[in-house]
Amino acid sequence: MERVTNWLKRVEGHLDGWGKAAWIAAFVLGFILFWPIGLAILGYTLWSGRMGCWKNRRKHTSRASGSTGNTAFDDYRAETLRRLEDEQDEFKGFLDRLRRAKDKAELDEFLAQRRRGTGPEGNPQAA
């Protein structure tokens, strides 16, 4: 078991030395040979941060939520974010009312067709 672990560490070191392209080639080759191997390599590269995909996101989110040191700008930003959240809530409410109105119109049309004795396509219904 120790031999396998040492071999994997050596391979990891070589791939790190060659860069992201080597890691991408490794998981593509893994998918070609046997898909669980490719999936495992892909998961490892993303989980370990070797692709750098998620590391940058953490930096941006922490920077966006912290203070800039300029109180006037911080107040402006907080007010703008609050206003945008309020607008988003209003828009979600509008979409909900729009969906309800559409659903009600479709139900009313269905019930009217049913009272007339015709199907949705205008054909007489069989009783």
Q: Which of 32, 28, 2 is nearest to 15 (CA)?
A: 28
Query: Taking the complete model, does pTM exceed 0.85, yes or no?
Result: no
Q: What is the pLDDT of residues 45-96, one digit of tens each?
A: 777 766 665 555 444 444 556 788 899 999 999 999 999 999 999 999 999 9
Identify the CA nearest to 50 among candidates 3, 78, 102, 15.
15
Are residues 50 and 13 part of one domain?
yes
Question: Rounded to 5 degrees, what angle do the CA atoms 14, 2, 27 make?
Answer: 40
**Number of structural domains the chain divides into:** 2
**Residues 34, 2 share a domain:** yes
Structure tokens at 41: 């390599």
Greatest Cα pair distance, the chain, in angstroms, is 80
The range of the structural domain enclosing residue 14 comes to 1-54
